[in-house]
Structures are given as C-alpha cells and as structure tokens.
Amino acid sequence: MSSTTGTVTELYSPSPLKVAPNVDALLHQVDQLQNSVDSDVVESLLEENAWLEHSINRGKEKWQSITKLLREAFEAYVVLNACIEQLEDETTELDKKWAHDLQNRLSGTSAPEFPRVHQRASMYSPIAKDFLDD
C-alpha cells in the first residue's frame, strides 16, 4: 500500500501487513460508499419513476378508450331508441289505418251481404260453421 505524508490512498484492508488508514482515508471511503449507495438508490428511484410514468400513461390510454366506447354506446342507444319510437309510431298508425279500413268495409256491407261474408269464412273455419248453423 502506498502512503504519502501519512495519508493512505487505497481502500482499507484489514490485512495485518498493511498500514491502517488514517481518519481522512476512512472518511473518504465512507463518502465513496455513501455516493455508491446514493447512486444505487437514485437509479432504483429513476427506474421506479419511469415504470410509474409508463403505468400512468397506459392508464390514461385505457381511460380514453373506455370513455370513447361509452360515448359510442350511448350514441348507438340514442339511435336505437329513436328507431324503436319511430317503429312504435308507424305500428300505431298502421293499426289505426287497418281499423279504419275494416270499419269502412263493415259499414259498406249491406245486411244481406253480411251473412255471405260469414258463409265464405265458414268454408275455412269450423268454428264459423257452428255459428252459422245455429
């Protein structure tokens, strides 16, 4: 081990053949150890920080895609709801028209013609035959 004016420049080794370092050398070694520990901690924190930033960005992307899907689903719901309402309105109108047409046909049929209409229906329905036979 080399020494210059009482200071040791090499790391301390407990070998009995080497000269024990002085306080300055020990303090220097402690500083080096502290710096290496600090740099390991800083490196570990930087890695963790990078991982957290990546996780946050991934979470933001997922949140944005979820909100986009929800918006699209809501828009589809609105369109489907409007279509259902339109179909209900059309069904109601067709029912009214059918009832009106049926009423017009029935009111336009004279009394003597009315049984003939039922007689034609009775050819296809056994229940109608029973009513006409009575």
Distance CA 20, CA 13 (A): 8
* Lowest-confidence pick of 4-8, 89-93, 100-104, 126-130: 4-8
CA distances from 22 to 1, 4, 12, 19, 132 (A): 13, 12, 9, 9, 130
Distance CA 42, CA 45 (A): 5
- Stronger pLDDT, 35 or 53, i.e. the higher one: 53
Instruction: State the pLDDT at residue 97.
Output: 94
Instruction: State the pLDDT at residue 4.
Output: 47
- Over residues 109-126, the mean pLDDT reads 54
Long-range contacts of 1-5 (CB under 8 A, 24+ apart): none
DSSP secondary structure, the chain, as one string: --EETTEE-SPP---TTSPPP-HHHHHHHHHHHHHHHHHHHHHHHHHHHHHHHHHHHHHHHHHHHHHHHHHHHHHHHHHHHHHHHHHHHHHHHHHHHHHHHHHHHHHHS-TTHHHHHHHHHHTT-HHHHHHHH-
Say yes or no to pLDDT of 25 above 70: yes
